Amino acid sequence: MTTPKATSKTNVMPYTGNKDADPKGKATAGAGKLLDILGTKWGFKNLGIYAYRPMRGSTFISVHGTGRAFDAGYKQSQQELVTQICDWLANNHVALGIEEIHQYVWGTHGRGFRCNRDGKPGWKEWDAENNGGPGGYWIHVEVSPTFAQNPRLIVQAWKKEIHTFVTAIV
């Protein structure tokens, strides 16, 4: 499989990571709104937003600890569509306020998109030593702090960009 290059319409966004993690936090309204929209449009299921815990196999706190990251489950039969959705989300990451996407079932070991990889947005194909964990039928999405705190921005961006999603799969 070949991962397409992300083609952002504007400049590179900074990657926030877990800098704003809070053990007394909660899910942000913007992350919840984007997850709700993905669920309504394509049937993604909420597998969780806020969780103050280390990342799998690490001592670093997960971005779920910020309330800005969510996991969205899907049916195995949707895999081809999910790949197209992930590519579209990456290509529109600035407009939608998305900093990172993990697609655990893709190629051999999955892939991850980041809004800023060495000064430009892009995908990284994972390998056996460097991957997001065991393959599973869910995606992980991280929303920027600005969008996470303002669900209205998510809705406005979605309405502006959704017409650009074109697929042969229905």
DSSP summary character for residue 76: G
In 10 A of CB 24, how many CB atoms? 5
pTM of the model: 0.90
Q: Give the per-residue pLDDT at 9.
A: 46
- Chain center to CA of 92: 11
**Residue 8 CB contacts under 8 Å (≥ 6 apart), including other chains:** 91, 93, 94, 121
Residue with tokens 């996470």: 148
For residues 74 and 82, is the Cβ–Cβ distance under 8 A? yes
Q: What are the pLDDT digits (tens) for 124-155? A: 999 988 877 767 899 999 999 999 999 999 99
Cα 10 from Cα 37, distance rounded (Å): 23
Confidence of residue 168 (pLDDT cuts 50, 70, 90): low
Confidence (pLDDT) at 7 = 47
**Tally of CB atoms within 10 A around 41:** 12
pLDDT at 43 over 70: yes
Q: SS3 of 34, please? A: helix
* Dihedral angle, C-alpha 130, 135, 136, 142, nearest 10 °: 20
Domain layout of the chain by residue ranges: 65-164
Between 98 and 130, the higher pLDDT residue:
98
Q: Which two tokens stand for residue 142?
A: 């991280």
